[in-house]
């Protein structure tokens, strides 16, 4: 990691203004926090500005966010420079590739993926490709170690990469024929490659003369993709607040 600085002056737009929609959203975020604590919304709102600007945050936007939250400019700058997810210089118009370079991906060939980036985009990270559509950087673990090596492009991960299928992913972005996120080698999520290997007999009563039980997967691909319940719905009723402390002696 290198020292993170704001982009040079000539790249910085003069001003920044939230779109009406984003501003309304920002005010919603601010309303979540008690009065006087509106600065708590800074990361969410700065991230919205980051998205509105096409994947990077300008100096004017940092000031605008700070002013919106009535916090000193330097405090917003501290946050923008602390979190590496905030890009401080322009990124590719179509794609900013974040290549995971941490140990599991590295062992599974992240180096080759980085080479593809260097050859197709720019030799150096954080530089735009010649057409300005692509840029790349190496990041720390993005939590898909089972599907290493992997990259993250905007909010989606592309996993189980080889130089070949990663090339196709980039081609897809370049041509507008967007690739499907997830594993690029046909496997189901992080299930074993080539289909299930264990517990194959469970739930399969039919017998085969030669092999015994016929192998049926416990879950099929379509089962797994059924949407589950929303994360904030609990099966159990929510717990009651604790009863008054029985050890209290003042009553």
φ and ψ of 10, to 5 deg: -70, -20
Q: Which is nearer to other proteins, 9 or 211 (by Cβ)?
A: 9
Interface residues for other proteins in 6-25 (CB under 8 A)? 6
CA gap 190, 143 in Å, rounded: 12
Binding other proteins by CB under 8 A: which of 45, 59, 69, 95?
A: 59
d(CA 107, CA 157): 18
Backbone angles phi, psi at 213, to 5 degrees: -65, 140
Q: Which is nearer to other proteins, 81 or 162 (CB)?
A: 81
Among the listed ranges 67-75, 124-132, 165-173, 195-203, the one in contact with other proteins (CB under 8 A) is 67-75
Quote the DSSP letter at residue 134: E
Q: Is 34 in the site for other proteins (CB under 8 A)?
A: no
- Helix, strand, coil fractions of the chain, as percent rounded to 5: 35, 10, 55
Q: Binding marks (x or -) toward other proteins, 150..189, rule CB under 8 A?
A: ----------------------------------------
Report the distance separating Cα 3 and Cα 138, nearest Å: 15
- DSSP assignments along 27-77, one per residue: HHHHHTS-TT-GGGGHHHHHHHHHHHTTS---HHHHHHHHHHTT--HHHHH
- The residue within the footprint of other proteins, chosen from 32, 37, 70, 73 (CB under 8 A), is 73
Stretch that binds other proteins, among 80-88, 107-115, 123-131, 213-221 (CB under 8 A): 80-88
Give 84 or 119: the residue with its C-beta nearer to other proteins: 84
In angstroms, give the least distance from the CB of 47 to other proteins.
17
DSSP secondary structure of 211-251: TEEPP--SS-HHHHTS----TT--SSPPPPPPPPPTT----
Q: Report the residue number, 101 or 109, with the smaller CB distance to other proteins.
A: 101
From 60, 77, 142, 174, residue interacting with other proteins (rule: CB under 8 A): 77
Q: Which residue stretch of 75-83, 95-103, 177-185, 203-211 sits at the interface with other proteins (rule: CB under 8 A)?
A: 75-83
**Alpha-carbon distance 53 to 180, whole Å?**
25
Using the minimum distance from each CB to other proteins, give the nearer residue, 84 or 220. 84
**2 lines the binding site for other proteins (CB under 8 A):** yes
Residue 6 vs 44, nearer CB to other proteins:
6
13 is written with which tokens? 């737009």
Examine residue 81 and tell whether it contacts other proteins (CB under 8 A). yes
- For residue 112 the two structure tokens come to 């080759």
Residues forming contacts to other proteins in the complex (CB under 8 A) are: 1-4, 6, 59, 72-75, 77-78, 81-82, 84
């Amino acid at each position: 990691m290198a020292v993170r600085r704001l982009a040079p002056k000539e790249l910085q737009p003069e001003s920044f203004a939230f779109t009406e929609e984003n501003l309304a959203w920002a005010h919603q975020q601010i309303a979540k926090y008690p009065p006087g604590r509106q600065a708590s919304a800074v990361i969410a709102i700065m991230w919205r500005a980051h998205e509105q600007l096409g994947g990077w945050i300008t100096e004017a936007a940092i000031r605008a966010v700070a002013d919106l939250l009535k916090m000193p400019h330097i405090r917003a700058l501290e946050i923008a420079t602390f979190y590496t997810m905030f890009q401080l210089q322009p990124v590719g118009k179509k794609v900013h590739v974040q290549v995971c370079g941490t140990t599991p991906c590295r062992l599974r060939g992240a180096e080759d993926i980085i080479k593809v980036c260097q050859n197709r985009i720019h030799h150096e990270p954080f530089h735009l490709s010649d057409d300005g559509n692509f840029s790349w950087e190496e990041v720390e673990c993005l939590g898909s170690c089972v599907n290493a090596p992997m990259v993250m492009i905007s909010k989606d991960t592309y996993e189980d990469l080889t130089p070949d299928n990663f090339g196709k992913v980039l081609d897809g972005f370049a041509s507008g024929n967007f690739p499907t996120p997830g594993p690029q080698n046909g496997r189901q999520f992080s299930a074993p490659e080539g289909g299930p290997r264990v517990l194959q007999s469970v739930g399969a009563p039919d017998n085969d003369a030669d092999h015994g039980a016929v192998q049926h997967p416990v879950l099929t691909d379509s089962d797994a993709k059924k949407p589950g319940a929303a994360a904030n719905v609990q099966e159990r009723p929510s717990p009651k607040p604790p009863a008054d402390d029985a050890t209290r002696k003042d009553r």
